[in-house]
Amino acid sequence: MNDVIDARNLIKRYQVGEDAVRALDGVNLRVAEGELAAITGPSGSGKSTLMHVIGCLDVPDEGEYYLAGENVAKLSSDRLANIRNRRIGFVFQTFNLLPRMTSLENVELPLMYAGLRHGVRERAVVALERVGLQNRMFHAPNQLSGGQRQRVAIARALVTDPALILADEPTGNLDTHIGEEIMQLLLELHAGGRTILIVTHEPDIAARCRRQIHIRDGRIVEPAGGG
Ligand SMILES: Nc1ncnc2c1ncn2[C@@H]1O[C@H](COP(=O)(O)OP(=O)(O)OP(=O)(O)O)[C@@H](O)[C@H]1O
Ligand SMILES: [Mg+2]
């Protein structure tokens, strides 16, 4: 199997006034195609920073990062945006849907950004059906429940057929049983061959992932035998 993620010695520093923080302090991480992994760790340990670098929202100060075989650590922001759009689907704690658009329009957006001219609507419909929202296509986000909004966000993440789905606390704003349904959906996508990384504070959610990646002080302290 190919590695979707191959990151070597990632370092990311933030300077705030006199203080330098090493948000990533030499992260090595390989994730194979089709893996489902939970990223856990204390608040401030660098989980979101790692997701941003892995998700091509940001570049590391040092280190190498191959995404689906492509060296992306030193690309310009334009090139990075292009790769992000093609290769990565994001799911956020706060859903991040555009409020004035319907579910369908929200899911169509990544395809529009990718410059697709044909089949946009059809693909968005298929993605919404996949998450069980075929009867909520024309609802706006404020006409949906939290769980439904997160399903729209997952459909939006899926629609480009990305190499990697990144979810940062996808169940953090949801009631436990709704969070459980969202996790079930992510497990189904994993069973269908998707590569998924989930940042979570919830032990129940992390426990359902076969691989656990623990991060502390900007370093991975993965349990032996992981990966
Ligand atoms: N834009 C920034 N500027 C300065 N420091 C930052 C910035 N983003 C993150 N940091 C610092 O980097 C470290 C890691 O932050 P990060 O957001 O990755 O943590 P986290 O593990 O996601 O925490 P949480 O569980 O609370 O979301 C923290 O010490 C934080 O203060
Ligand atoms: Mg975070």
SS3 of residue 155 by DSSP: helix
The pTM of this model reads: 0.93
Please indicate whether residue 138, judged by its CB atom, sits closer than 6 Å to ligand 1: no
- For position 74, what pLDDT does the model report? 86
How far is it, in rounded angstroms, from Cα 110 to Cα 112? 5
Indicate if the pLDDT at residue 226 is higher than 70.
no
Q: Give the residues across from 64 on adjacent strands.
A: 8
- For position 222, what pLDDT does the model report? 73
Nearest CA owner, ligand 1 atom 5: 14
**Residue 157 is inside which H or E element, if any?**
helix 146-158
Cα–Cα distances (Å) from 52 to 12, 56, 155, 189, 224, in that order, read 11, 6, 20, 22, 25
Which residues, including other chains, have CB under 8 Å from residue 60's CB and lie 6 or more apart? 10, 11, 12, 24, 53, 73
- For position 28, what pLDDT does the model report? 97
Contact 148, 136 (CB under 8 A): yes
Question: pLDDT tens, 117-127?
Answer: 999 999 999 99
Question: pLDDT tens, 151-200?
Answer: 999 999 999 999 999 999 999 999 999 999 999 999 999 999 999 999 99
Please indicate whether residue 45, judged by its CB atom, sits closer than 6 Å to ligand 1: yes
How far is it, in rounded angstroms, from Cα 124 to Cα 137? 9
Please indicate whether residue 10, judged by its CB atom, sits closer than 6 Å to ligand 1: no
Of 69-73, 103-107, 139-143, least confident by mean pLDDT is 69-73
How remote is the CA of residue 170 from the centroid of ligand 2, in Å?
11
- Of ligand 1's atoms, which has the minimum distance to the CA of residue 46? 18
Question: pLDDT tens, 11-65?
Answer: 999 999 999 999 999 999 999 999 999 999 999 999 999 999 999 999 999 999 9
The owner of tokens 């899911």 is: 107
- For position 149, what pLDDT does the model report? 97
Which one, of 177, 222, 183, lies nearest residue 200 by Cα? 183
Please indicate whether residue 47, judged by its CB atom, sits closer than 6 Å to ligand 1: yes
Q: Which ligand is nearest to the CA of 218?
A: 1
Indicate if the pLDDT at residue 224 is higher than 80.
no
CATH of domain 36-58+76-220: 3.40.50.300
Please indicate whether residue 200, judged by its CB atom, sits closer than 6 Å to ligand 1: no
Domain boundaries, the chain: 36-58+76-220
Which one, of 68, 150, 70, lies nearest residue 107 by Cα? 150
Which one, of 185, 180, 177, lies nearest residue 153 by Cα? 185
User: Residues 59-76: what's their mean pLDDT?
Assistant: 93
Cα–Cα distances (Å) from 39 to 109, 174, 180, in that order, read 28, 19, 17
Environment of ion ligand 2 (residues, CB < 5 A): 48
Band the pLDDT of 1: cuts 50, 70, 90. low
* Residue 73: DSSP 8-state: T
* Residue 60: DSSP 8-state: -
Phi, psi (rounded to 5 degrees) for 101: -110, 150
